[in-house]
Chain A
Amino acid sequence: MTQQTQLFVTCLVDSLFPEVGVAVVEVLTRAGESVRFPRAQTCCGQPAFNSGYQQEARRMAQHTLEVFGATDGPIVLPSGSCAAMLVHGYIELFKEDPFWLPRAKALAARTYEFSQYLVDELNYVETSAFFHGSLAFHPSCHLLRDLGVEKQPISLLEQVRGVQIKPLEAECCGFGGAFSIDHEVVSSEMLSRRLSQVGESESQVVVSCDVSCLLHIEGGLRKRGSKVRCAHLAQILAGKSAGLK
């Protein structure tokens, strides 16, 4: 019996970093999954939810629930924050809605972040990837604290041949969605702190499970003219070169 896995690729990967999505599909397929991509998917609604725009968030959440509700099997997202939105945010959004709440709960029960899925559900063992160099791993906040996913990405990276892993302290990169514009000064200071830590780690690539963090970090690195690049975990496992573009 083959396992059908539904890929929710997320709006940032879809529009900004499609190569991350391609890498995710490659790794899942290598792991023996039959990957499906429900084409009607758009955005989970997190930006609206986090900003307090409840109605707008519900609209996008309902669309997502309809699209994925019509599918079977586990739903995998290459994003800790989007996965957390489906697992926790939707429950909060629909907590008083007798129609949508059961649908939200059913969806949450089969939603996984990419590294979480590989390790916890598939017991995946990485056998072909290699990376000659050092990489710093950035634990993204929602992945770590909302989903409790901490060891899984590291354990996958440790299986990559040749790699030297430098874990970074679990500190926010300063993105926070609208925060990065509304509170740009503070956001930039937090980013600056993170970039110093990256610099101190003397690594060539920063890896994370969330492209939202990575675009913030690489955006800062490029502004400074740094040669350090970012990559999503899937790109490392798929043996792709670093740099989100």
Chain B
Amino acid sequence: MKPRDRFQQLSKQAVNNPSLQIALDNNASRRRKGWEKAYSSLPNPDATRKKAREIRQDVIENLGAYLDQFMGQVITNGILVHWAENASQASQMVVEITQRHAANLVVKSKSMVTEEINLNSALESAGILVVETDLGEYIVQLRGERPTHIISPAVHLRKEDVAETFEKHLNMPYTTDITTMNAAARRKLRDDFLTAKVGISGVNFGVAETGTLCLVTNEGNGRMVTTVPQVHIAVMGAERLVPTLDDLATILQVLPRSATGQKMTSYLNWINKPRQNGDPDGPNERHLVVVDNGRLAQRRTQFSEALACIRCGACLNACPVYQEVGGRTYNSVYPGPIGALVSPALFGIQNHGHLSKASTLCGACKDACPVGIDIPLLLQRTRVQFVDKVSQPQFISLGMRLYAWTASSPARYKRAQKAVFWLMRLLPRKAGWVRWMPLQLSAWTRKRHFPSFARKPFREHWGKTKPVRVVGLSSVEEQEEEMIAPRMPRSSQEDLSGRFEEELHLVGGEFVRIKAEKLAAEVTSHFQNMEVHAVIAWETEMIGSEEIRLHSEAVGIDWLSPTLSNDVSRRIQEVTRIGKVQAGITGAIAAIADTGTLVLTSGVGKSQMASLLPRIHVVVLSSKDIYATMSEWLSIAGKRVMANTSCIAFVTGPSRTADIEMTLTTGVHGPAKVIVFCVE
């Protein structure tokens, strides 16, 4: 079947599927509203998007240089780098690394590039079991389907579909209660997280200046797969770079807003190095596979702008065609507007060029795009290539040539107008509108009437001119303000902690203002009220750590500061034991007020598991460590910590997912409760 015919078949199925239609409508309305609301929280949204576009354009133009800088830094940091020219090389590299570690189970977080390189098939062919840990990906994997959206893989499913799937594959009674379903997935996946030797992730952005790998997630599975297993393999598209940490902070203002309408996702991971001497945990070995697969060549084409894409999915949410047909209709790893551009470029115009025509060029995608990719223009350019390289139906090609010939001569044009007028007179009509047209044109009249040609076209009406009046012309002045996240002087600490508290509440975290002398008692009493019997704790860089430990041990709470073994099987045992602990307590080197975010670095005495595995995460924060924005923190303090920490986790509230029918549940893989004690 020709690809374009398959598209027709699938789109017909899609529009006639009421359940899918409801799911797609929900996605469109929720995501569009979320986008509006999130962007309105920026002081100057247009300027921020413009800056984001400039950053990505700079990267595309200088990709070679930035890649050199980036990979050099990554290697210096101790991460092993592999360059893959194409999809099969990339997946083979991942398979080989996995086999070297004799791993027969890998846990994986969501990554579009791994879909692109068909990684799961390659691993399965090598006898390696792959568990997708992103809830949406997990669900589609159980169903043997491909994801249908860049951000929400299971967007096409209703809760009844998921309930059926879980009943069948997880051996649980049928229930459409979303909280119950999420909990069941969590329990099942947790075992896999804790026992897998290898974790595979994508990379949202690589930072060229520091070699940092940045992951942006909500569920906690991204942190899990990059922290718990002995070996971490990251797979990254070669174009996914930003030049500096400051640039990263700007892009992070638009990515969550565009993707899910959040000011910040629950987690960011800034991964610098593998486990260092003194780190209590973290993977001993980290690998980065950088995938070219046509990206470098695309820079030299008229489609280079599409490389700026940050894979936020906003264009899918804005697209009225996607809303009608859903992702499966595109029959490609990348669906929607960006998919219609990327698929022909990566996978060939023969089988995917037709996607460029599944659009009215309405431009809603361009409006939604945080980096301003002119998708309609690039779609038109793709259509030119499509017409050039793939044979089109005869009647269209002939029709176009006839039309152009007619319209390049006024005399021919006028004669054609008359001819069509008379032909249309033969068609059944009502009040000047035609009810049926022959051949391919009958597709129009299935649901619409078509206006008949006028007996007297406008050019025949044209005759006299009227006397004129002098009218003044006006001039318009335009001003543009160039302002993004202004570098304000540090706000007063009171303002900042108030703002932080507000934002933390908005993301479902709890805030307790406390004086240093009351801290230990208050924390311990919280633990008791929550019936916590054991705690994983930071030993260093946490205010009052000694005192809190003493208070807690005095009431019988076990205080653990585990350092993981380097022996793989012992490590798995240790992790499984730690996995049962109910609470973790950490410090934070900083907090960011405008998103309610906590910044946790790794290092000696600072277990990463403490903020990741338990259901409850308690943080002891000093009020003087609160900064207004991420940019402010970076310029005052943040950049200095980069060299000394293998991994930074940014925690914004409890872990969350909305993968089942867009219903928000907290406490998926990461903690369900985040309590911040803010010490004055």
Contact = CB atoms under 8 A, between A and B. Distances in A.
Given A3-B471, A182-B357, A184-B446, A42 B384 contact: no
Q: Which of A57, A188, A220 has the most CB of B within 10 A?
A: A188
B361 interface: yes
Interface residues of A, number: 84
Nearest to A7: B462
Interface residues of B, number: 79
Contacts of A9: 458-459
Interface string A28-43: 0101111111011111
Interface string B9-33: 0011001000000000000000000
A29 B462 CA distance: 13
Contacts of B465: 29, 34-36
B462 A17 contact: no
A13 B459 CA distance: 10
Given A59-B404, A141-B360, A171-B364, 7 more contacts: A60-B408, A63-B409, A92-B380, A123-B472, A182-B357, A190-B324, A222-B431
14 contacts: A29-B465, A31-B471, A52-B384, A59-B405, A92-B377, A92-B380, A121-B474, A141-B361, A183-B11, A184-B444, A186-B324, A219-B444, A222-B449, A245-B433
A151 interface: no
Interface of B: 8, 11-12, 15, 320-321, 324-325, 356-364, 366-367, 377, 380, 382-388, 396-397, 400-401, 403-410, 413, 417, 420, 430-433, 435, 440-441, 443-454, 456-462, 465-466, 468-474, 476
A17 B454 contact: yes
Contact of A50 (B383, B417, B450, B458): B383
Nearest to B321: A186
A53 B383 CA distance: 8
Contacts of A52: 356, 380, 382-388
A179 B320 contact: no
Contact of A121 (B358, B404, B473): B473
Main secondary structure of the interface of A (DSSP, over half): helix
A1 interface: yes
Contacts of A145: 362-364, 366-367
B363 A142 contact: yes
Nearest to B463: A37
B380 A50 contact: yes
A39 B8 contact: no
Nearest to A55: B404
Contacts of B440: 181
A33 B473 CA distance: 11
Contacts of B407: 11, 42-43, 45, 59-60, 63
B404 A18 contact: no
B417 A15 contact: yes
A34 B468 contact: yes
A189 B324 contact: yes
Contacts of A222: 430-431, 433, 448-449
A62 B466 CA distance: 31
10 tightest A-B CB contacts, nearest first: A176-B360, A52-B383, A145-B363, A32-B471, A219-B448, A56-B404, A172-B362, A21-B458, A32-B469, A18-B458
A56 B430 contact: no
A141 to B, nearest CB: 4
A15 B380 contact: no
A20 B459 CA distance: 12
A174 interface: yes
Contacts of A14: 417, 457-459
B95 to A, nearest CB: 40
A171 B404 contact: no
A2 interface: yes
A112 B14 CA distance: 40
Interface in A141-171: 141-142, 144-146, 170-171
B448 A223 contact: yes
A13 to B, nearest CB: 6
Interface string A178-201: 111111111111111100000000
A33 B468 contact: yes
A174 B459 CA distance: 29
B400 A53 contact: yes
B212 to A, nearest CB: 36
A61 B477 CA distance: 31
A241 interface: no
B453 A56 contact: no
B358 A50 contact: no
B60 to A, nearest CB: 19
A152 B364 CA distance: 20
Contact of B360 (A39, A42, A120, A179): A179
A137 interface: no
A180 B444 contact: yes
Contact of A171 (B11, B320, B444): B320
Contacts of B453: 15-16
B138 to A, nearest CB: 30
A216 B433 CA distance: 12
Contacts of A218: 433, 449, 451
Given A56-B404, A120-B476, A223 B447 contact: yes
A220 B447 contact: yes
Contacts of A191: 447-448
A128 interface: no
A68 interface: no
Nearest to B397: A53
A3 B325 CA distance: 49
B410 A40 contact: yes
Contact of A54 (B384, B449, B458): B384
A189 B15 contact: yes
Residue with the greatest number of chain A CB neighbours at <10 A, chosen from B358, B361, B409: B361
A47 B403 contact: yes
Contacts of B472: 123
Contacts of B383: 50-52
A175 interface: yes
A101 interface: no
B476 A1 contact: no
A40 B412 CA distance: 11
A186 B15 contact: yes
B8 A223 contact: no
Contact of B410 (A33, A41, A146, A181): A41
Nearest to A52: B383
A171 B359 CA distance: 13
Contacts of B321: 183, 186, 190
Given A15-B457, A21-B458, A185 B12 contact: yes
A183 B385 CA distance: 20
B474 A18 contact: no
Given A53-B387, A186-B324, A219 B359 contact: no
A122 interface: yes
A10 B188 CA distance: 63
A22 B650 CA distance: 63
A100 interface: no
A242 interface: no
B325 A186 contact: yes
Contacts of B388: 52
